[in-house]
Amino acid sequence: MTGLRVGGRLDRFSIGARLFVAAIACSAVILLISGVVLSAIYRRVTERAFDERLHIYLTELVGDLAAPLDSDRGNLGSIAEPRFEQPLSGWYWQITQLDNPRREVRASRSLVGTELPILTDLGVRATVGERREGYGTGLDDRRLRIVERRVDLGDEGRYLIAVAGDASEIDRETGDFNRAVAVTFLLLGAALALSTLVQVRFGLRPLSQLGASVVAVRRGEADHIAGRYPPDIAPLAGELNLLLDTNREIVERARTHVGNLAHALKTPLSVLANEAQGSRSPLAAHVRHQTEVMRDQVNYHLGRARAAALSTGLGAATAARPVVEGLARVFAKLNSERGLTISIEVPDDLRVRCEEQDLQEMLGNLIDNACKWSAGEVRIGATVLDDPGLPYVVFCVDDDGPGLPEAKREEVLRRGRRLDESRPGSGLGLAIVVDLAALHSGALTLETSPAGGLRALLKLPAV
380 burial level (CB within 10 Å; 0-12, 13-18, 19+): buried
Neighbours of 119 (CB within 10 A): 22
pLDDT confidence of residue 34: 94
- In DSSP terms, 448 is beta-bridged to 454
More confident residue, 253 or 180: 180
Structure-derived torsion over alpha carbons of residues 120, 124, 126, 132, reported in degrees to the nearest 10: -80
CA atoms lying within 13 Å on the CB side of residue 265: 17
Tell me the average pLDDT across 308-312: 53
In this prediction, residue 166 has a pLDDT band, given cuts at 50, 70 and 90, of very high
Q: Is 265 helix (H, G, I), strand (E, B) or coil?
A: helix
281 CA to centre of own chain: 74
Reference 261, options 316, 215, 309; nearest CA is 309
Q: What is the mean pLDDT of residues 156-178?
A: 91
With bands split at pLDDT 50, 70 and 90, how would you rate the model's confidence at 44? very high
- 131-137 and 454-461 strand pairing: unpaired
Mean pLDDT value of segment 338-344:
89
Confidence of residue 425 (pLDDT cuts 50, 70, 90): very low
What is d(CA 378, CA 36) in angstroms, rounded to the nearest whole number? 78
Helix (H, G, I), strand (E, B) or coil at 352: strand
- Contact, 97 vs 161, CB < 8 A? no
Confidence class of residue 314 from pLDDT cuts 50, 70 and 90? low
Domain boundaries, the chain: 69-169, 247-311, 318-461
CATH number of 69-169: 3.30.450
Evaluate whether 162 touches 51 at the Cβ level (below 8 Å): no
266 vs 406: which has the higher pLDDT:
406
The CA distance from 410 to 460, in Å, is 19
pLDDT number for residue 268: 77
> Binning pLDDT at 50, 70 and 90, where does residue 10 land?
low
The predicted structure's pLDDT at residue 29: 94
Answer yes or no: is pLDDT of 185 > 70.
Answer: yes
Q: Please compute the mean of the pLDDT values over residues 343-356 and round it to a whole number.
A: 88
CA–CA separation, 40 and 33 (whole Å): 11
* Fold: same for 69-169 and 318-461: no
pLDDT over 50 (residue 420): no
Give the mean pLDDT of 140-152.
88
Among the ranges 3-17, 254-268, 387-401, 415-429, which has the highest mean pLDDT value?
Answer: 387-401
The mean predicted confidence, pLDDT, of the chain is 81
Q: List Cα–Cα distances, 229 to 206, 207, 443, in angstroms.
A: 6, 9, 39
Q: 241 vs 68, 110, 222, 233, CA distance in Å?
A: 101, 89, 11, 13
Q: What percent of the chain has pLDDT over 90?
A: 26
The pLDDT score that the predictor gives to residue 37 is 96
Averaged pLDDT, 82-87: 88
User: With 70 as the cut, is the pLDDT of residue 428 above it?
Assistant: no
Select the CATH number that applies to the domain covering 318-461 from these four: 3.30.565.10, 3.20.20.70, 1.10.340.30, 3.10.290.10. Answer: 3.30.565.10
State the pTM of this model.
0.55
In this prediction, residues 84-96 reach a mean pLDDT of: 89
Classify 460 as helix, strand or coil.
strand
Q: What does the pLDDT average to over 444-461?
A: 90
Can you spell out the DSSP letters for 283-349? Answer: HHHHHHHHHHHHHHHHHHHHHHHHHHHHHT-TT--EEHHHHHHHHHHHHHHHTGGGT-EEEEE--TT
How far is the C-alpha of 388 from the C-alpha of 390, rounded, in Å?
6
- For 189-224, the three-class secondary structure string (H helix, E strand, C coil) is HHHHHHHHHHHHHHHHHHHHHHHHHHHHHHCCCCCC
